[in-house]
Structure 1
Amino acid sequence: MKTFEQLGVSEEIRRAIEELGFEQPMPVQKEVIPYLLGNKNDVIALAQTGTGKTAAYGLPVLQKTDAEAKTTQAVILSPTRELCLQIADDLNAFAKYIHGLHIVPVYGGADIVPQIRQLKKGVQVIVATPGRLIDLINRGVAQLDNVRNIVLDEADEMLNMGFSESINAIFEQLPEDHNTLLFSATMSKEIEKIAQQYLHDYKEIVVGSRNEGAEHVNHIYYLVHSKDKYLALKRIVDYYPRIFAIIFCRTKLETQEIADKLIKDGYNAEALHGDLSQQQRDLTMQKFRQHTVQFLVATDVAARGLDVEDLTHVINYGLPDDIESYTHRSGRTGRAGKKGTSISIIHTKEKWKVRQIEKQIGKEFVDGTLPTPEEICKKQLYKTMDDIMKTDIDEEQIAPYMDDINRQFEYLDKEDLIKKMVAVTFGKFLEYYKNAPVIEKPTGKRSDRKDEKGDRKGRVSSGRRSHEAEAGYRRLFINLGKTDGFYPGEIMQFLNHHIHGSKQEVGHIDLLQKFCYIEVPEGDAEKVMNAINGATYKGREVRCNDADEGGHGRSARPKAGAERRIARKEARKGDNGSRGKQARHGREKESWRDLIKDKPFKLKGEIPDFSEEGWARRRPKKK
């Protein structure tokens, strides 16, 4: 097996990467590094994310860069800010012992002035997102006249995100005798087009096979009705107690909804989508990388460039439209020789996508059967017992409390004590799965298709078809919904803020665009209504009443027309009543006849005669 020294890597770089734990080159590094250390060697390398691509192009690029010259000699393009920062951090670590070499990341969503200041000092390697680099070129700050190597990392992602024009503009600024290094997970038609346009006599290096999924990833799908997708998700994550996963959703709205549901159900989850500020995104990703967040619910765009170690699962809450996106999703797990699992929760109309993906990646999906409540409870029980057994005890720390502990438990025997300990840590699973709803697997019959269609029209998200509250709860209407940003997390904060004394218990939440329904314990219903009626939320007056009394409880989800009528009614009540007054004024003025009816009026002058004789009298006489 070849070493980095045998591949031609310099002593300074070898010293740095040995400190980082690099022992033997990975397959893509063995192929790429010796080739790139030559001259005028364009290359396309196809390999999954997480296979060592950054070092594969980074080590030879750094070795061929002259640290004494202050001109820019290498440009590395990446699709996202996160990947840009990650690449720059890795390259700086590789170049630890190369004195005078400066590597600077430049990206959008951040103040451009500090980036301009850094570039003016002299930078040999620029790591950039395409849009920000174009901006710096137009300002005359980024000079690419001396660039010898340009790298497109995650090239397929950049093209999917619409950066083709920016990439073309950047290539126009480069000298003719440069190397182009194109790294991608998939070989799409767009990638081939760029290769034909900008690469010369290039070598194609493939680790695995073209458009192949990650080698160590298992692919499973669970077929359920659309109304049961969240219930299926809950069972899956409960069945894997040590799971650490990204849950991919198709839209920003769905991403936020699923994250809010998971949080409400007690899971450590965060949402990541385009509506978050850059500061919120950075904080969320930092918590996920540090494993303080167990589930990251994300859109494809927001998660691009996110590289997280030890990801056990990728969960597709519905399949993406294109196979390349699925490849990128699944490729985030099963890295560094570890096993990973890609799970897809689908309905009957998505089965054809599974077949397409199987053909493309050359792997078969397992048709999974959802775990039963008994299997889940057994898994969680073993995890609880394992946690107890592996807990380290600090004898000195606990010694002062042992007398009180012994006194408290002296009348309990060992068996009762164990039962109570397990119940405390494991009780929530027993309680939930005691009456867990049945999740039926679609058979593909017509009745199943009708259920899917009905669900898309807006069936209750929990899967319960009745609008009636659960036993012991009352259903309340609140005139705030998704358009007000009134998601489950905000609902809980709003209630707890206005209901003093203790946290308010809330059952099922049915969230619509303009309003919502919540279920609270029977004994708390009046307290909740009195507390929030008349309060304000983001400048809007809040109304809350019993859903079965105010005309809003007839249907769990009104038809579109009914929803619009309620929305218009609510809008008329806003704006200090001005719209309501206008509406009433309009109803009073039904026509001008009603206004003048039974009212005396006078006409100035003589009433004109419109008869033939009258017209004849007014006709001018001929002279």
Structure 2
Amino acid sequence: MNTFQELGLDEKILQALNDLGISKPTEIQQEAIPFLLKSDQDFIGLAQTGTGKTAAFGLPLLQLIEHDNTTCQAIVLSPTRELAQQIAEGLKSFAKYERKLKVECVYGGAPIMNQMKKLKSKPQVVVATPGRLVDLIKRKAIDIQHLRYLVLDEADEMLNMGFKEELNVILSSTPDDKSTWLFSATMPKIIRKMVDEYMHNPHEISVKSGVEVNKNISHQYMVVKMSDKAEAIKRLMDVETDLFGVLFCRTKIDTQNIADELSRAGYAAEALHGDLSQNQRDLVMRKFKDRAINVLVATDVAARGIDVSDITHVIHHKLPDELEFYTHRSGRTARAGKKGLSIALITKGERRRLDQIERILGIEFEKKMVPTGEEIAARRVEAWSEKVLNQEVVNLPQEFRDKVQESLAVLSKEELVDKLLAMECKQLNMSDSRDINENASHTRSDRSEDGRGSSRSTSHFKNFSINIGKIDSVSKTDVLNIIQEVSGIDSADIGRVEIQQKKAIVEINKKSSPSFAGKFTGFMFDDREIKVSDGGVYTEAPASRGKGRFGGKKSYGGGGGRRSGSDHNRRRDKPRRR
């Protein structure tokens, strides 16, 4: 492995890296840094998050900048405010000994006038979110005519979040002779099209993630119905009294709904997602860091850039769309050599996806049971008795002691314990004490070709028509995910799915069918309302459901919709309430 010195970096940068304790370059850094230092050619670096991409582009960028030139020479684009701040802090730490070099960070959701004042200090490097940069360009608050370098970090995520229009504005407004460096975890067609339009003969490298799952993390799973997942989370919080964690959801709708349900039930939980204002986000994060809340309920995108130590648990309300997201999620715990726990709440239909994570990441999930109400009560009472036993007794006023002893003298020891225990049991929420665990055992032979159960009786199912079809470039898996996320019904209650040109025909268990269509009221898909109606006829034999969600990303309705300039208006590629 090459050293940073062998990669061609200046002494001041090497000194800063040494202060930071960074001594060995990662694979992406070894590949990118020497090329970027010596060539003006456009560049594409394909590597997963967590492989050291900030240093891969940041170190050569800081060295190439003319420090005596106070024009804006480089812009780094990032999908989220948290990631932008993280990049800016990283660049500043790398430039520790470069006194004349200034780095500023601008992002949506914060007062734009304050950021315009900062730009008047003439930073050579600006880290920005796309929407805010477009706002600043329109206000002529930033001069991009002398721009030499444009870096697009997490390009795929920016497009997933709906920044296509802003990226087009930025790429077309900046000088043609600039060098464009694009870093991305994946290279979908939409990015390839952007590359063809705006980049000139780019040099492309691709490195493996190099990211291993932390060995200090224990991986567990529990099998429950979709409708019982919130109850399972409550029970986990009841049993794990020291739980301090992040609960990941795939949609902001689920994120807010689950956080609201937990909060109404008296649990210390709050949501973090893209629909919150910047002030709301800052308040939630401050509460979490101060441990005023036990669980942060977040989407994958909203949780980017969060750096909170001592997180004990990561809980997956639903497995993520992208395989690497599981690594990123679980990596929030077990930091600084500590132990951590990652718990996936899955339905019976998600078991195969769990198998795939195990196989690809080389980890093993241990099956655990959701505690029953009786088990929770027993553990809580045990914890209460230990708390009483360990209660330190100091400086009790004698008059209080005398009065209490006189009042309780009529009780025997057993009677006193019974009364104290009765008081504690009143505090337990035992309104739902049923066993919510599901049996997840299955083999491939007991599944039909399209992934639905083969032993079911069609008489128990009813057909529905949904106005999403082949014209929308959706797969059966996409439709299944939409149905589960919006309606909350279990995968076992969904029968066959057929994708026709302009609609999808689905079978829904009759016990769930009366309320099925109504649950989609007000939900949008690609700027039109999802409509569900009774009936529908199968016209062809069901085909295979194809790849699982980890085989390749499918967005619900695309990521290129029109956005306003503010960055807290989030992605629209999932069904959302109008």
**How high is the TM-score relative to the length of structure 1?**
0.58
**Offset at residue 128 of structure 1 (A):** 0.6
2:433 maps to 436
**Offset at residue 336 of structure 1 (A):** 6.1
2:21 maps to 22
SS in structure 1 at match of 2:280: helix
Counterpart contact for 1:271–1:296, Cα < 8 Å = yes
**Offset at residue 345 of structure 1 (A):** 1.9
- Alignment of 1:270 onto 2:270: yes
1:502-559: CA deviation from partner (whole Å, max 9, x where unpaired): xxxxxxxxxxxxxxxxxxxxxxxxxxxxxxxxxxxxxxxxxxxxxxxxxxxxxxxx97
> Which residues in structure 2 correspond to 1:507-586 (within 5 Å)?
none
Greater shift in the superposed pair: 165-174 or 265-274: 165-174
Counterpart contact for 2:377–2:428, Cα < 8 Å = no
- For residues 128 and 344 of structure 1, the distance between their equivalents in structure 2, rounded to whole angstroms, comes to 34
Counterpart contact for 2:333–2:341, Cα < 8 Å = yes
Change (3 A) 1:560 1:76: closer
Higher-RCO chain (CA-CA 8 Å, sequence separation at least 6): 2
**Offset at residue 78 of structure 1 (A):** 0.8
| Code of the aligned partner of 1:221 | Y
Change (3 A) 1:22 1:75: same
| Code of the aligned partner of 2:205 | K
SS in structure 2 at match of 1:202: strand
> Which residues in structure 2 correspond to 1:218-257 (within 5 Å)?
219-257=219-257
| Code of the aligned partner of 1:247 | L
2:125 maps to 125
Change (3 A) 1:71 1:428: farther
1:300-358: CA deviation from partner (whole Å, max 9, x where unpaired): 45434444444333322234556566565445445566655443323234445445655
1:27-64: CA deviation from partner (whole Å, max 9, x where unpaired): 46863675366222735152334x65434443443333
**Offset at residue 269 of structure 1 (A):** 1.0
- Alignment of 1:35 onto 2:34: yes
Counterpart contact for 2:8–2:34, Cα < 8 Å = no
1:88 maps to 88
**Offset at residue 399 of structure 1 (A):** 7.0
Change (3 A) 1:459 1:36: closer
- For residues 71 and 156 of structure 2, the distance between their equivalents in structure 1, rounded to whole angstroms, comes to 29
Change (3 A) 1:323 1:62: same
- Alignment of 1:258 onto 2:258: yes
Change (3 A) 1:125 1:384: farther
SS in structure 2 at match of 1:271: strand
CA RMSD of aligned residues (A): 5.1
Change (3 A) 1:456 1:28: closer
SS in structure 2 at match of 1:437: coil
2:47 maps to 46
- For residues 242 and 69 of structure 2, the distance between their equivalents in structure 1, rounded to whole angstroms, comes to 50
| Code of the aligned partner of 2:183 | L
**Offset at residue 133 of structure 1 (A):** 1.7
1:124-165: CA deviation from partner (whole Å, max 9, x where unpaired): 111111122233334444333444443322223112112234
Change (3 A) 1:30 1:78: closer
| Code of the aligned partner of 2:37 | G
| Code of the aligned partner of 1:348 | K
Change (3 A) 1:230 1:15: same
Counterpart contact for 1:48–1:331, Cα < 8 Å = no
- For residues 154 and 561 of structure 1, the distance between their equivalents in structure 2, rounded to whole angstroms, comes to 37
| Code of the aligned partner of 1:48 | T
1:63 maps to 63
| Code of the aligned partner of 2:344 | S
Counterpart contact for 2:44–2:181, Cα < 8 Å = yes
Counterpart contact for 2:105–2:128, Cα < 8 Å = yes
SS in structure 1 at match of 2:38: coil
- Alignment of 1:204 onto 2:206: yes
- For residues 399 and 431 of structure 1, the distance between their equivalents in structure 2, rounded to whole angstroms, comes to 29
Counterpart contact for 1:28–1:56, Cα < 8 Å = no
- Alignment of 1:176 onto 2:177: yes
Change (3 A) 1:2 1:382: farther
Change (3 A) 1:439 1:409: same
| Code of the aligned partner of 1:129 | T
Greater shift in the superposed pair: 236-245 or 79-88: 236-245
- Alignment of 1:160 onto 2:167: no
1:151 maps to 151
| Code of the aligned partner of 1:182 | F
Counterpart contact for 1:222–1:368, Cα < 8 Å = yes
1:114 maps to 114
> Which residues in structure 2 correspond to 1:356-395 (within 5 Å)?
365-371=365-371
**Offset at residue 84 of structure 1 (A):** 1.8
- Alignment of 1:348 onto 2:345: no
**Offset at residue 70 of structure 1 (A):** 0.4
Change (3 A) 1:458 1:159: closer
> Which residues in structure 2 correspond to 1:68-83 (within 5 Å)?
68-83=68-83
Change (3 A) 1:460 1:364: closer
Greater shift in the superposed pair: 153-162 or 342-351: 342-351
SS in structure 2 at match of 1:38: helix
**Offset at residue 297 of structure 1 (A):** 1.4
| Code of the aligned partner of 1:154 | E
Change (3 A) 1:438 1:113: same
**How high is the TM-score relative to the length of structure 2?**
0.62
| Code of the aligned partner of 1:441 | E
Between structure 1 and structure 2, the one with the greater Rg is 1
SS in structure 2 at match of 1:303: coil
Please state which structure has a larger fraction of its residues in helix.
1
**Offset at residue 290 of structure 1 (A):** 3.8
SS in structure 2 at match of 1:75: strand
| Code of the aligned partner of 1:22 | G
**Offset at residue 193 of structure 1 (A):** 5.7
Change (3 A) 1:15 1:29: farther
Q: Mind listing any 5+ residue stretches in structure 2 that lack a counterpart?
A: 441-452, 464-482, 490-513, 520-578
- For residues 190 and 330 of structure 1, the distance between their equivalents in structure 2, rounded to whole angstroms, comes to 29
- For residues 311 and 318 of structure 1, the distance between their equivalents in structure 2, rounded to whole angstroms, comes to 19
| Code of the aligned partner of 1:280 | Q
Change (3 A) 1:268 1:56: farther
